[in-house]
Structure formats: structure tokens, C-alpha cells
Amino acid sequence: MSELDLKVKGLALGTHETPWDLQVLLYRGAASVRRDVVIQSINESEFGDLIEDRVFFVVKLHEILNSYLTRGSSQHTVRSYLQKIWFFYSWLDTTDKLSTEESIIPTFKAWTEYLLNRIKVNKDIAQMTAYKLASTIASFIGKALHLPGAKPGNSLMLTTRLKRPKKPTNVLSTKADKQNLVDTFEFGHTLTTICNHLDIKTVRGSLPIEILLNENKLLTVAGNLIDPYLDVAIIENSGSKKRAIIARQPLAESISLLETHKRSSILNLRIESELLIFIAQTGMNLSQAVALSKSTYRWQSDGEDYEAFRVYKGRREGEAIFRCYKAYRDHLQTYLDWLDETELSQNDERLFPMISRGMIRTKTSKVSISTLKNLLKKNNLIFINPTQLRNTRINWLLRQTNDLNLTAEQMGHTTEVLLKDYMRPHHQRASSEIIEFHNLIDPAQSPPGPGLCVDSHQPKQIVNLPENAPEPDCISPDGCLFCEKHRDVMSSEYCWKLASHLQLKRLETNLYKPSEHNHIHPANFVMDRIKLKLKAISDGSEIRNTWVEDAQNSIRSGKYHPAWDGYIRLLEGIV
């Protein structure tokens, strides 16, 4: 079996990366050892003989992975697949389970039970993490065994007890989106302050670096210092004291920032902050942004935005790379100048050249914004990841433009993806859309009183309105009956509501004690108006007469319309 070549070909590798070799999976215990040393250990027979029953499935895995790379699948995705395969075989090494063609499915089911135990008993892994891990291996098994169905991996997962967790149904309050924007603005202020403070002079200056965010918050950037708050004066050992002083001194002019790694974390802090600002401004996703190269840009104004074009040598034309707000252009130019001043652009063509201590990573390597995240976490400050930033930008643009197609075009998505994965409910927007819908479809509005209104918030009193009768104001239920915009509804339920309203007014007048001037109570005008309406409805047809009679019988039996029932019961208790 030594002639088997199981290296994964087509993955880009950095200077310090080791190729992925599935030969490791054929030896018990090898999957848990560092990949940069394990092949040497295998050649020295430290893991014993190759396990024959693993050959079938490992060879199939190798074929599937190479086919993914051949057809252009994302290298990020293939790397994540390899990590999950290594995780599976690390477990397999601790058991006596087989992975032959006949036994791989029972072995997989046993592994899902192990994952369930970790979820429910050990509680050291999230259910969604375990589900994604298992579903990836299930997909490989389905392809390797040519199981039936369009998605054989999903069918295999259904035979296990490990299920996809239900998404939590979080109820959004009216303050949820406002709070989200407040957090985003605060995070943006933090990023901008960090970028503005870490100029070339400060980066090369004495350590630690202190960044004042506001009058209550001070960030301390330690660089390579173990204890940034150490009082050098109290160190007794002369050698230790000298090293502590040197570590805190500014860099000499003769020393390049790239000759020492003492300032690499400080450089990365600004680069990561600039990266997140860029994503927030352009809407570009993380993998696209980190793959951008630093170029000479030609700017073209487009209304409130600028489009950046890459300039090719010898000609002005170029492809449009990204679109950003006008205010961001000057900030980006300052950052580009900073890359030149730090000499980063002389050694790395990327727009965001994060430093990895002598290691040159590939453009497809996974990006970690750990320096910034750890600093903010240590100081109890908000951190918003790139996905959340893009999500906030998309929803903000959608509310500002009220144009789904335009927002999708600007963010580089289809409308279907935008609606499915990014759009979030917004109370104010939903309310306005509901109002617009009703205005277009049904111009009649429900007024405070019985019936319908054909022009809400535009009351107009009827001709010959009796003196002291309630005036229409879109607030008083009684006033609606004296408004020209009021419309009757030909239904038994409306007659019941009118009759209940009439009973309420009767009880009110029973409590009325006339003054010396014998003023007529306004409720009497309401009663007369209701009686006229009921008579008009009753005279319309036999069926309408039945509605009115049924409504009056309900009132006599003490069955009132829910809109007035509570008020009537209260007045009956008083009377």
C-alpha cells in the first residue's frame, strides 16, 4: 500500500503549511498528531502497520475531495471538510470500530451517538456544531457508497438521533433594531479611533500605547509586553530592568518594522480595524476583501458614492472593484499611505497584509480577526463580526431606498438570497407597509365608532348638525355617527353593535341630572341618530328587518356586543 498517493492536490499552501495527506488516516493514532511531523513518524513506523480496512473509504474520500477542487469548489470549504474528516478519524482511533464498505454506516451512527453524549452529558459541543460535523461526513459516506437519492447524506442523517436544532424564535421588540444601530455606531467609532491613533509615529513609538476612546474608556495596546502596567523602577535585577526598559523604548530609525515581530500585533490591530471599516463601507464579504491587492485606484463619482477602478499600467481603463461612500475615500487614502510608510506594501501586495510572524499565508487562508476581538473583549467593548456588519448595512439600505432590487444589486446578491438570509423584520417598516397596503386595497378604515370610515383623520360633520351633538373628531365613537365620511355596514353584526351602543347611551342618560337650564344630554342626540339608522336598515328588506329584530332581542336578553359589553356592565352596576 506504500505506493498509494493520497495527497490532496490543488490546495494553495503558504510558506509554513504542510500538504494535506490522507495517508495519515490509515494509521491508528496518526490523525491526532500535528500534520507537519506525522509523516516522518509514519515513515519511522511509530504508528505500526497500515490498517487495511480503512483503505476503501479513505481512497473514496481522496477522490471526492480532488473532484471538488478540480471543479473549482471553494478552498475554504475543502479545508473545512478536511478538518472534519480528521476529527472523525481521531475518534475512530479511540474505538475498535471498522470503516470498511460494509461497516462504515454502523460506525457513523455510533459516532453520532458519541456526539449526542457530548451535547447532552458533557455539554462541551453545541448541537448545531455537532450536526454540521456529522452531516458533512454523512455526505461523504453517501457519495462513497453511491447511496440512492438526490441528497443521500441527508437521508443517512435521518436514520440517526442527531437532529438539526430548531432556530430560536426570538421576538423582536420595537427597540431591537434601534439598539443594533446604536451598537454599530459605537463599534464604528471604536474602529475609527484605533485607526486614527495608530499612525506611523505611534506604531514606532514607546510601549504600551494608550488609546482614549472617550472620557471613560482607555484602551491599552501592549504590543509584545507581557505586563504593560509593570513599574520598571521597582525591578531590582539590573539585567531584567534593562530588558524591560529596552522593550518599552521607541524603535530606532535604523530598524524597520518588518525586521522585528515586536510590533506585529500592533500593525495587525490597525489592519483588522481597517478591514472591518472597509467591509462596512463597501458591503464586500470577508473572503473577497482579504483577497484584494493594493493598487493605484481611479475614482469615479456616482451621486453620493464613489466607484473605485483598478488602474492598469500604461492605460487608464480598469475594472470597477468596489463602491464606497464619498466620506470614506479620504480615510482609505490615509490607510494606503500608512501601508507605504510602514513598508508593508513593499513586501505584500495585499490591501490588508496581516502579519504572521515570518509566515506568508495564501490568499485562500482563513482570516482571523483575533487581535482586535481579544482587545475589545478584554475591555468589555462591543465586537461586531463581518457578517453582522454586512447584515446591518443591507437592512439599513433596504429601509432607506425601499427598493429590494437596488439593494440586492449593490450588495451583490439575488433578491431571493437577500430575503432568505439577510433581511430582518423591522417594526416601523412593517407598520408603514401595512398602512400602504390598506390604503391601496381597502380605502375604508375602521373608525372608533361602529361602521366604516372612507377617509380616516379627515372628519367632516353632517349638514344640520344638532346643537350640542358630538362633533366628529376621529377619536369619539359618538362623533363618528355625525360624520359625512361614516358608512353603515349591511350586516347582522353591525346591527347588534348599533343596538348595544344605543343601550350604553340609555344607561348614560339615566345617570344624568339636568341642570337649571335643562340642557339636553348629548347622548340623546346619539340615541336618536342610532334609532334612525336602525329604522333605515330595517325598512330596507325583510332580511335586514330580521337583523334589527335579532339585535334588539339580544339586548333585551342581556347579550351585548363585545365592543360595548364591558362598559355596559359597569354602568349597570352603578345604575
User: Closest Cα partner for 270 from 191, 204, 331?
Assistant: 191
pLDDT higher at 503 or 96: 503
DSSP string, 372-391: HHHHHHHTT-----HHHHHH
Output the pLDDT for position 401: 57
Q: Residue 478 burial by CB count (10 A; 0-12/13-18/19+): exposed, middle or buried?
A: buried
- Grid coordinates representing 164? 438539526
DSSP state for residue 120 in the 8-state scheme: I
Is residue 449 within 8 A of residue 479, CB to CB? The reply is yes
Which helix (H) or strand (E) segment is 219 a member of? strand 217-221
DSSP string, 133-162: HHHHHHHHHHHHTT-SSSSHHHHHHTTSS-
User: Closest Cα partner for 452 from 497, 487, 491?
Assistant: 487
pLDDT digits (tens, 9 = 90+) for 204-218: 888 889 999 888 888
Burial 517-539 (b: 16+ CB within 10 A, else e): eeeebbbbbbbebbeebbeebbe
Output the pLDDT for position 351: 85
Residue with cell 365592543: 563
DSSP state for residue 484 in the 8-state scheme: T
Output the pLDDT for position 196: 93
Evaluate if residue 423 carries a pLDDT over 50: yes
pLDDT digits (tens, 9 = 90+) for 327-379: 788 888 899 899 989 888 887 888 888 887 655 566 666 678 889 999 999 99
Output the pLDDT for position 313: 44
Residue with cell 490588508: 352
What 3-state DSSP class applies to 359? strand
- 515: number of Cβ within 10 Å: 7
The half-sphere exposure of 395 on its side-chain side, counting CA atoms within 13 A, is 21
Evaluate if residue 268 carries a pLDDT over 70: yes
CA distance 31 to 25: 6
Is residue 409 within 8 A of residue 396, CB to CB? The reply is no
Output the pLDDT for position 498: 92
Output the pLDDT for position 316: 44
For the chain, helix (H) and strand (E) counts, in that order, are 23, 7
What would the mean pLDDT of 252-262 be, rounded to a whole number?
A: 76
Evaluate if residue 274 carries a pLDDT over 80: yes
- Grid coordinates representing 292? 484584494
Amino acid at 304: E
- Grid coordinates representing 159? 436514520
CA distance readout (Å), 542 to 160, 496, 498, 534, 549: 67, 16, 18, 13, 11
Evaluate if residue 17 carries a pLDDT over 70: yes
- Give the predicted TM-score (pTM) of the model: 0.57
Cα 455 off chain centre by: 40
- 175: number of Cβ within 10 Å: 10
**Percent helix / strand / coil, the chain, rounded to 5:** 55, 5, 40
Output the pLDDT for position 333: 87
CA distance 202 to 542: 92
DSSP state for residue 461 in the 8-state scheme: B
pLDDT digits (tens, 9 = 90+) for 146-196: 998 888 999 999 999 999 988 765 555 555 555 567 788 888 899 999 999
CA distance 154 to 131: 11
Query: How high does pLDDT run on average in the chain?
Result: 82
